[in-house]
Structure 1
Amino acid sequence: MGKGFYISKRLGLVFLVLGISAVVSILALSVIYSQEKHKNKENSTVVSTAVPSSKSPPSNKPWDKYRLPDSLSPQFYNVTLWPRLEMDERGMYFFTGTSGVAFTCLKETDLILIHSSELNYTLTPQTHHAMLTGLGGTSAPVILETWLQTQTQLMVIHLKDKLKVGKSYWLHTEFRGELSDDLEGFYRSEFVENGVKKVLATTQMQPTDARKAFPCFDEPAMKAVFHVTLLHPPETVALSNGIELGTESITINNQEVLRTRFEPTAKMSTYLLAFVVSEFTNIQSSPEADILIRIWARREAIETGQGDYALKLTFPILKFFEKYYNTTYPLSKSDQIALPDFSAGAMENWGLVTYRETSLLYNPKVSSSANKQWVAVVISHELAHMWFGNLVTMRWWNNLWLNEGFATYVSYLGADYAEPTWNIKDLMVLHELQAVFEVDALVSSHPLSSREDEIATPDQINELFDTITYSKGAMVLRMLSEFLSEPVFAKGLSNYLQQYAYDTSVYTDLWQKLQEVVDADSNVHLPASINEIMNRWILQMGYPVVTVNTHTGGISQQHFLIDSEAEVDSPSQYNYEWFVPITWMKKGVNMGQHWLLSKTATHEPMRTNSEWVLANVNVTGYFRVNYDPQNWERLLAQLSLDHKAIPVLNRGQIIDDAFNLARANIIHTTLALSMTMYLSEEREYIPWESAIKNVRYFFLMFEQSEVFGPLKMYLRGKVQPLFDHFRVITSNWTQMPSGHMDRYNQVNAISLACKTGVDGCSELTRAWYRWWMDNPDSNPIHPDLKMTVYCNAIASGGVEEWDFGWKMFKNASIAAEAMKLLFALSCTTEPWLLNRFLEYTLNSSAIKKQDASFVISYVAGNVIGQPLVWEFFRGNWEYVFKNFGGGSFLFESLIQGIAERFSTQFELQQLERFKEDYAAKGFGSGTQAMDQAIETTKANIKWVSENKKQVMDWMIKHSA
């Protein structure tokens, strides 16, 4: 048994079934395999006794509802799967399996509803999909009929008599499924090793795809224990959530296979289940470690040391979280595996975490500092889930933000512990806060938490995997931790995890545990309960802009919208009013915290006639800040006189807030532009990155207009000193800066310098790239500079440079290098090359499906490529939707990337027409992204019409 694993005495009876069903499973798989060899695909599909159309009208029948009834409770499963890693005679990859589930009846019912999708069942002699037996001496009712309800993805089993409350039963099924390459459920991944194509079988169950691997009660609250057995080819190794109990060779139909059994899992949700069958190898922790840690990947990757960094990080991060949560790691082992084909960045399967190769593997000779940081943060994110999400799980997907927002927040804490010199916690402001502010400033945003009955279908669930859930969730929890203090926050978390271990919860359970700690701590003073404070942040969308008037000491808040005239049609019980914790300083001196609990208030200490005031110190609060014009001028004067008097995070905040307040027509655009004037003296990464991100909007809006020339000239003057600074400290580009953030800012300096025409920049990147072209086996470009060098060289080159980049991409054996080249190939200015690149995304042998959506987004970011992508997107809509419409992050970013330059009435009409044309079929997980694209386009049109002339005039005036 695993650590913390418990089964009641009553359920102990059902273990008697396991020994028998293990034998039955092998025999059944043999029968299925034999049958499948003689049946075509059509005949293998079950003919139901009643199969309603997938478009049948909604009814009140239980099988027409997406949520399972609460009449049955699974206790444990016995699952045996046999993936075939070679094509059958019809050119198909498939898997066969048997599954038994022990469940207890909680409410009297004559129906068993269990999730099943895209599985074909071997019929019993009674032409049913399943067999039912009673446990512990209980007799099972006779099955009258069974069918598959395709729309709601349910197997429906109608019984002659009702199941008895408190009694346990065993449901046995035998089935076959396709081992497809769709990156969902139980699927196949392919790669080439030493010129030979290899196939592996792996899983991605979250959120609703465990039902594609075996019939199951596929809801997060339906936790159970899983006993897994995998059959696999002799040259392969099998992995699952539990440690391997043993592997033996057996023969089925004259075919030798290995059978691996695994330790029973802890009690957990179906979406956390994982299986992998591959020829991978591993490196592992020393035998003395109290947790077995293994890093799995392609043999070449492991042998070249690409898993070493992940292995080095995992143990200290696990130990950090053990201390942070005050809870021991719940399992006996931690496997982490890098997959060649994987739709997400990573997946927190309990005990067997799956990753994209770029999220787990690191090679210091090829991978950049950004690649290294990504590996550290993603590993930390997934390991944080081992407790928060896996040990304690949200009851339903409407509270997904609690899982993902929390893991996103503490991932920076874990990575900071593992790499303390990086100061990585500061990057939350850039990567999470500023990023989500853009989306959450739209009327098409959504609250963090919804009612359960608002989230039912797989598409609705998939839509929740967005930046609001991850980044806003992280930032409101960070704000909570800051005003409570980290020790109080961590103690509440520990109490929460201990009470709800191996169970599910809702967000109010966490509020309660935190409140108990607050009530016992005399040093914590809150103006209201945690429930009252935090519900305003999670039950209504958006965030406030807080305006400070230093003449009167007045403070006010209003719902910040990027289009100030947009109409909000989503009512809020709190009337878009928040309880806002405001930390502030006066002329460099911290003045503590003040709570704004209403629309307006007065805080006398903020009144001043000569000293600058700064609110939201170190940007710990989830809000923007505006000031009276005089205080803006004082801040601008301070930046010009001695910018270091203002904390570095707040320098980035001032720039980001000013530009977005200007877009919302709250302050003048020229005031926002003025905040960049001091940048010729700035050397820190965060302010520069904030500026570049916001100036990018000007590029998007004006790159094809007469404003672009003066814009380039102004920015050239600002970035020239930064470019010269890095040229000097790197001894004319022969060394690299020592600081983590400095390395990032060097990339900014070169990238913006080349973009704006700084003398020597383009020649530098072209020379590096040309040297590599002449010596393809010896790349002289430092990994940190590769992406910007590749991009600029290909942009200023022609077909020769592009073809060389494509050749290097196809030959790349390290995923991080491949992704740099994939981005750089989108930088060409040749339309025909961009069109060819886009066509490659339709061919998975040219560009993997997991990367195709990125290519489309990359090309859309190119001013020449954007209209090409728009035509490509509409012309290949069926393919794009089929392959990317189910994965929210991919599809959301795809739609946003395509529409981000739209700023004309014609483009808006095209976008709205496109939405109308496909409204009947819907946009899957991209539904909200489509609405957000339309809303953003309207805001862009308005902003350009109102600001084009003044931006032009200001740039000309300040470019001299």
Structure 2
Amino acid sequence: MAGGFYISKTVAAVCLVGAAGALAVIIGLSVLYAQEKSKNVELLPTTAGPSTTTPSGPKEPWDYYRLPKTLSPVRYNITLRPRLTPNTDGLYVFTGHSQVLFRCVIETDLILIHANKLDFTKFDGFLAKLSMDGDTAPTLKKTWLEAPTQYLVIQLNEPLQPGKFYKLYTEFVGELSDDLGGFYRSEYFEDNVKKIVATTQMQPTDARKAFPCFDEPAMKAVFHMTLIHPQGTVALSNSINYDPVNITVNGESLIETSFEPTEIMSTYLLAFVVCDFAYIGTNPDIRIWARRKAIEEGQGNYALAKTGPILAFFENYYNSSYPLKKSDQIALPDFSAGAMENWGLITYRETALLYNPGVSSNGDKEWVATVISHELAHMWFGNLVTMRWWNDLWLNEGFATYVSYLGADYAEPDWNMKDLIVLNEIVGVMRVDASAYSHPLSSKEEEVLKPDQINQLFDSITYSKGAAVLRMLSDFITETVFSKGLHTYLEEFAYNTTSYKDLWKHLQMAVDKAGVALPHSVEVIMNRWTLQMGFPVVTINTQTGKITQEHFLLDPDSVVDTPSQFNYEWFVPVTWIKTGGSEQQYWLLNKEDLVLGASDWLVANVNMTGFYRVNYDETNWERLIARLTLNHQEIPVINRAQIIDDAFNLAKANIIETTLALRMTTFLNKEVEYMPWETARRNLNYFFLMFDRSELYGPMQAYMKKQVTPLFHYFRDLTVNWTKIPEKHTDQYNQINAISLACSSGVESCRELTSGWFKEWMNNPAVNSIDANLKSTVYCNAIAAGGKAQWDFAWEMYKNATIASEAEKLMYALSCTQEPWLLNRYLQYCLDPEKIRKQDVSNTFIYIGRNPVGQPLAWDFIRANWLYILNEYGRGTISIVSIINGLTERFSTEYEYKQLELFKKEVEAILGSAAGIFDPVLERTKANMNWVALNKKPLSDWLSSQTSGI
């Protein structure tokens, strides 16, 4: 989805625990996408690969989840009428009829077409009608719905003939439910009037919930859409609409809007919306649609201003014109992902498309630019040329994630977006991929059959690791060559489907034409990175000149059960810089090699373009500490962040001492750049998670206070006592870190500063003068320091918020209270869609769980209400994986491990194979237990040495 934003697409930035226990400050990047990262990103997705099923005994054709290759769709004619008011049973429904023209490829007396949760009107006892132009079609023998595989099954008395065309007509009724999948409804209030939007989310397998279709990516066809809708509403779809006409149905005055036929496209890219939204833009070229008040307030202006330039960038990057006549983008109040790349009608969460200067933060703006860029990248890569099957999803989404940073960089050249991909995508997914429960980027087709197995692929490996390895590929063949290979790939396969091997072929052609020297072909190199999970740690010994590689695992005691045809060896493009020297590159093609000469100090993986970690001999680590202490700016800023991140993760894997990693942070009292500070914050957050309930919490606070106080004073001076906004994009982010970490570690005046700002707002609710960038951290710290009055005020502001990004900040901040009864109240609100939207339930549970006071409350609440949550919310509207993952981050004791095991046993019967989501969490908990036992005493001693006399 979100063309890659299953929030995941999520990009969340969570701050350290506060003095009163407040934690996690969202610096404005959406926390869906998953965390894109927040596209079919819900938050942090599972790392477990798709499970396979073993057939038991002979099967009928309708027992298989893949369509047979007997039929090929050509054209659909679809008419749908959504009801925007409930019927006498209190249900919202839609009615429709559809005709699909298909060609018989192989003789067959069976038609299988996908249909899910549709109630069909029978024709003479059958569920469909079959016809031919100028001939007599075979008669129907039997029709029925096969629920397990989601088929409408039609048995015929005579076989269909190869090469001939047939028409299948159906009439049906479906529920316009609020489950955020297929054809569904979204609700919102405007001027105290409840409004209903009928909208869609087809990816990956929910087009079949809207109409009968051959619902596989390779089954491309042309779609003729007609929507019948109430007066006062507008209908949108992938194509430009013809002039709407007024019609009367059963005495009711309605509008009928038909659309030009689409280009040849996959079912999952189909979209249609009925709403009373307004738009800005040029009709019909580029339009931004949203709630009328949002458009009137100018919340769509930024998206409109950036869509044109980003489209122009991709036309140049692909050397290919935009394939369609128009580009509509619409912000929906209820949307499960971050966005969805429907061809010509891109759908978004409001936070991913709308931006309001003065209210929305710098991070909100970046999120909008990045998500728009991600979705527009798909207009070619994914839509024009589409993956043949879902096992290649990583290429679709990983590619769009990578180039989204190029498009955003073009639109906002002062933001340094090409560097921020390291923080937003790469360092986070490296932790995921360092688990024994990770999975390869590329799966076999036979391993991805059921809808549940397809949904499992929408995870951070697919999006973020996919982006990381493509970034690495683009770097070692050069971005110019990469772009030229994309052009010929898109040119050859336009309006068709491909596999990843087709892309490797075209990139190889570009490499050969440019004369780029590689040790092996593109395909051979990349197979090592895509067909096996994980990545290497490259160890460089500057004393002997030896370079080695081995599979990196965060838990050194974990067992990798997944076999690899490459024995977990990679072809690694190792780069490094030495004292006073320029960048050098060497291909590490074996387990070890001897290539280096002596140097004063060395930093490898320059700008972190390679997807690997780096370890050094002890002498070089000491040299790096000395260099950082003496003149940290001599090392590139990305590598300062990378050194910190590598050191902490190597320590966690017991490859180096934890105290060595901690020593990598001692230079931070002189550092003012965002990337090193953000990397240190995230890594030190693990220490707080493990020890914020122990006697080490105080010494950790004291050390953090010592390091962050200069940064707090730096930004106080830079902003003239907090009265100005820093000019640099990353400085605006690091100002948030400075205040958040200062408040959480007890820096004098910080808590008074944030509480004072919040009190001013409480005294005059109509005027919120808090800097938009600082709202999350100010709200959180003020609510943590306050009580019922602050919480109730924030709740009222949340309920009345008309800007989605503002509502999201308040929704997060409400979880920061230290009052258990308020947190329990908030948990109860999560089960009331009138209070917390279904799309936000997962995040809210996780926010509460990140609060050390709220974590045990949320954990007990989820277990007590598990069945209700599954039954009422459905497995598609919340991310069970992200909830379980988020609520168990702190688990580090035998008791907590046993709780997890027991809970897994209790829900296995319900979740089936999906209960495997608990396995990586159990592995992480065991690793946490071992880490705490090993590191508590050394950490205590080191902290004492650093904070004595403070």
1:941 aligns to 2:919 (yes or no): no
2-side partners of 1:501 and 1:923: how far apart?
A: 40
Q: Secondary structure, in 3 states, of the residue corresponding to 2:414?
A: helix
3-state SS of paired residue (1:604): coil
Question: Deviation of residue 883 (structure 1)?
Answer: 6.0
- Residue in 1 that maps onto 2:116: 117
Within the alignment, does 1:655 sit opposite 2:644 as a pair? yes
> Which residue does the alignment assign to 1:514?
507
Amino acid at match of 2:937: K
1:472 is aligned to 2:460: no
Distance in 1, Cα, partners of 2:196 & 2:55: 38
Q: Which amino acid is 1:498 matched to?
A: E
Answering whether residue 688 of structure 2 is matched by residue 704 of structure 1, we say no
Partner of 1:722: 711
Cα offset for 1:562? 0.5
Structure 2: give runs of 5+ residues left out of the alignment: 1-53
- Quickly say closer, same or farther: Cα 1:882–1:550, change in 2 above 3 A: farther
Alignment check: 8 A CA contact 1:479 1:620 kept: yes
Q: Distance in 2 between matches of 1:379 and 1:327?
A: 19
Task: Give the structure 1 partner of residue 132 of structure 2.
Answer: 134
Write out per-residue CA displacement over residues 303-351 of structure 1, whole angstroms, 9 at most, x where no aligned residue. 0100000000000000000000011000000000000000000000000
Residue aligning to 1:641: 630
C-alpha contact 1:436 1:468 (8 A) present in aligned 2: yes
**CA pair 928-650 structure 1, distance change in 2 beyond 3 A:** farther
C-alpha distance in 2, partners of 1:59/1:791?
59
Q: Distance in 2 between matches of 1:444 and 1:121?
A: 43
State the 1:736 CA deviation: 1.2
- Residue 959 of structure 1 is matched in structure 2 by 947
Q: 1:575 aligns with which of 543, 567, 571?
A: 567
The amino acid of 1:117's aligned partner reads N
CA–CA distance in 2 between the matches of 1:888 and 1:586? 51
Is the Cα–Cα contact under 8 Å of residues 647 and 660 in structure 2 kept in the other structure? Answer: yes
Which residue of 1 is the match for residue 48 of structure 2? none
Matches within 5 A, 1:382-397: 382-397=375-390
Contact 1:465-1:889 within 8 A present in 2 as well? no
Greater relative contact order, per chain length (Cα 8 Å cut-off, separation 6+): 2
Return the match for 1:595 from 569, 587, 604: 587
Contact 1:670–1:951 (CA under 8 A) maintained in structure 2:
yes
Which residues of 2 match residues 546-565 of structure 1 at below 5 A?
A: 546-565=538-557
Please give the alpha-carbon distance, in whole angstroms, between the structure 2 residues aligned to 1:187 and 1:743: 39
In structure 1, the partner of 2:475 is: 482
Provide the residue aligned with 2:408 in structure 1: 415
Amino acid at match of 2:548: S
Equivalences for residues 444-459 of structure 1 within 5 A: 444-459=437-452
- Indicate if the aligned counterparts of 2:132 and 2:165 stay in contact, CA closer than 8 A: yes
* Matching of residue 164 in structure 1 with residue 161 in structure 2: yes
Cα deviation, 1:918-956, whole Å, max 9, x if unaligned, reads 2122267x6554222111111101100000110011011
Distance in structure 1 (CA, Å) of the matches to 2:249 and 2:139: 32
Alignment of 1:133-532 (within 5 A): 133-135=131-133, 137-285=134-282, 292-522=285-515, 524-532=516-524
CA contact (8 A) 1:885 1:923 kept: no
CA offsets 1:789-821 (integer angstroms, 9 cap, x no match): 000000010011000000000010000000000
| Matching of residue 811 in structure 1 with residue 800 in structure 2 | yes
Provide the aligned length of Structure 1 versus Structure 2. Answer: 895
Once the 2 structures are TM-superposed, how far is the Cα of residue 588 of structure 1 from its aligned partner?
4.5
- How far apart, in 1, do the equivalents of 2:628 and 2:910 lie? 53
Q: Residue 893 of structure 1 aligns to which amino acid in structure 2?
A: S
- Tell me the equivalent position of 2:24: none
Question: Hey, what's the Cα distance between the residues in 2 that align with 1:887 and 1:447?
Answer: 24
What secondary structure does 1:472 align onto? Answer: helix
Structure-1 separation of matches of 2:767 and 2:228: 44
The secondary structure found in structure 2 opposite 1:246 is coil
The match for 1:43 is none
Q: Deviations over 1:185-244 (max 9, x none)?
A: 000011101110011100000000000000000000100000000000011000000001
Contact 1:463 1:888 (8 Å CA) reproduced? no
Is 1:892 the counterpart of 2:881 in the alignment?
A: yes
The match for 2:663 among 661, 666, 674 is 674
Give the letter aligned to residue 789 of structure 2: E
Q: Name the structure 2 match of 1:96.
A: 95
Looking at CA atoms only, which structure, 1 or 2, has the larger radius of gyration? 1
Measured against aligned partners, the alpha-carbon deviations of 1:584-629 in whole angstroms (never above 9, x if no partner) come to: 1101422321000011111133x33xx1011100000000000000
Query: Could you tell me how far apart the structure 2 residues matched to 1:426 and 1:654 are?
Result: 15
The answer as to whether partners of 2:83 and 2:92 remain within 8 angstroms in 1 is: yes
Instruction: State the distance in 2 between where 1:852 and 1:889 align.
Output: 7
Letter in 1 for 2:764: N
8 Å contact 1:462–1:887 — kept in the other structure? Answer: no
1:574 counterpart letter in structure 2: F
The alpha carbon displacement at 1:301 in A equals 0.3
For the residues of structure 1 that align with 2:617 and 2:165, how far apart are their CA atoms? Answer: 69
Between the aligned partners of 2:846 and 2:57, the Cα distance in structure 1 is 37
Which residue in 2 is equivalent to 1:622?
Answer: 611
Which of 523, 528, 532 lines up with 1:536 in the alignment? 528
Letter in structure 2 aligned against 1:644:
Q
> 1:884 offset after TM fit, Å?
6.2
Query: Offset at 1:882?
Result: 4.2
1:56, distance to aligned residue in structure 2 (A): 12
**Counterpart code for 2:180:** L
The question of whether the paired residues in 2 share the 8 Å contact of 1:459 and 1:886 is answered with no
Partner of 2:25: none
Instruction: Name the CA distance, whole Å, in 2 between partners of 1:248 and 1:944.
Output: 69
Matches of 1:619 and 1:232, distance apart in 2: 52
**1:847-894 deviation line (CA, Å, top 9, x unaligned):** 110111110010010001111111111111123334666449833322
Alpha-carbon distance between aligned partners in 2 of 1:918 and 1:58, rounded to the nearest angstrom: 28
Distance 2:66 2:60 in 1: 12
Determine helix, strand or coil for the equivalent of 1:526. Answer: coil
- String of CA shifts for 1:536-563, please: whole Å, max 9, x gaps: 1000000000000001110000000001
* 8 Å Cα contact 1:908/1:937 also seen in 2: yes
Q: Could you tell me how far apart the structure 1 residues matched to 2:847 and 2:396 are?
A: 30
Residue 583 of structure 1 deviates from its aligned partner by 1.0
Alignment identity in percent? 60
Describe the shift of the 1:613–1:884 C-alpha distance in structure 2 as closer, same or farther (beyond 3 A): farther
Whole-Å Cα distance in 1 between the matches of residues 849 and 492 of structure 2? 49
Does 2:760 align with 1:771?
yes
Question: For residues 715 and 917 of structure 1, what CA distance do their matches in structure 2 show?
Answer: 41
Instruction: Report the counterpart of residue 848 of structure 1 in structure 2.
Output: 837
Aligned residue among 738, 759, 763 for 1:749: 738
Contact kept, 8 Å, 1:881 with 1:923, in 2: the verdict is no
Taking the aligned partners of 1:627 and 1:506, their CA distance within structure 2 comes to 39
- The CA distance in 2 between the partners of 1:431 and 1:697, in whole Å, is 18
Q: Which residue of 1 aligns with 2:818?
A: 829
What amino acid is aligned across from residue 902 of structure 2 in structure 1? R
Contact 2:238 2:270 in 1 (8 A): yes
Using the size of structure 1 for normalisation, the TM-score is: 0.92
| Partner secondary structure for residue 583 of structure 1 | strand
Q: Does 1:912 align with 2:901?
A: yes
Q: In 2, Cα distance between the equivalents of 1:811 and 1:591?
A: 54
Shift in CA distance, 724/884, structure 1 to aligned 2, threshold 3 Å: farther
Q: Distance in 2 between matches of 1:277 and 1:601?
A: 63
Question: Do the aligned partners of 2:95 and 2:174 also contact (CA within 8 Å) in 1?
Answer: yes
With over 3 angstroms needed to count, the CA separation of the structure-2 counterparts of 1:955 and 1:889, relative to structure 1, is farther
TM-fit CA distance, 1:727 = 0.6
- In 2, distance between residues paired with 1:544 and 1:270? 39
Q: How far apart in 2 are the matches of 1:94 and 1:331?
A: 31
